[in-house]
A = this chain, B = another copy of it.
Amino acid sequence: MAQGLDAIDRRILGELQADASQSLDTIAEKVGSSKTPVWNRIRKMREAGVIGPQTVIVDAEKLGFDACFFVLVRTSEHEADWQAAFLRALKARPEVMEAHRLAGEIDYILKVRVKNARAYDAFYQALISEVKIFNVTALLSMEEIKFTTALPL
C-alpha cells in the first residue's frame, strides 16, 4: 500500500495543484469518480507526505518586495559543523525563499526576496558575519517571467 499512485491519484494532484479551493464534488466529477473515493485518496496522499502544505500565493511586488536575488555561494569550509551553522542561518532567515546545495564549482544557490537593494545588503552583511564564506555572487532579477509550484504530472 506504500505509495503507488495511479492515474486518478495523479489527476487529483493536478487539480489540487491548479486550484486547491475546488470542492471535492468538482474534483470528483473532473476525474470521473465521486466524493468519498476522492477524499480517501487525498487523505492517503497527505499521510504519505505526497501532498504537503496548502498555501496561498501572494503577489510579492504588491506587498513591496520589489527585489529578488539569486545568490551563488562558494565556501572554503566543508566541515560538518560549518555546514550545520550555515543551514541553521539560512532556515532562520525569512528572506531566504529557497536554498539548494549544489554539485560543482558553486556550493550553494539561494533565492532571496527583499524590499529593496538596501535590505539585500543588510541580509548579506548579516549572513557573512554569521558564517565564513569564500565567495558570493548576487544575480539581480529584473523580471519574474514565470513562477509555478505545479509539477508536471
Contact = CB atoms under 8 A, between A and B. Distances in A.
B58 A17 contact: yes
Contact of A153 (B50, B63, B150): B63
A145 B20 contact: no
A101 B18 CA distance: 25
Q: Which of A54, A58, A108 has the largest count of B CB atoms less than 10 A from its CB?
A: A58
Given A102-B140, A142-B102, A51 B56 contact: yes
A141 B101 contact: yes
A65 interface: yes
Interface stretch (A32-40, A87-95, A128-136): A87-95
A99 B148 CA distance: 10
B142 A99 contact: no
Contacts of A98: 144, 146-148
Nearest to A53: B57
Interface in A108-153: 108-109, 113, 139-153
A8 interface: no
A147 B53 CA distance: 12
A49 B59 contact: yes
Interface of A: 3, 5, 13, 16-21, 48-60, 62-63, 65, 68, 70, 87, 90-91, 94-104, 106, 108-109, 113, 139-153
14 contacts: A18-B55, A19-B54, A21-B54, A49-B62, A54-B56, A68-B100, A90-B145, A94-B150, A94-B151, A98-B148, A103-B141, A103-B142, A104-B140, A113-B152
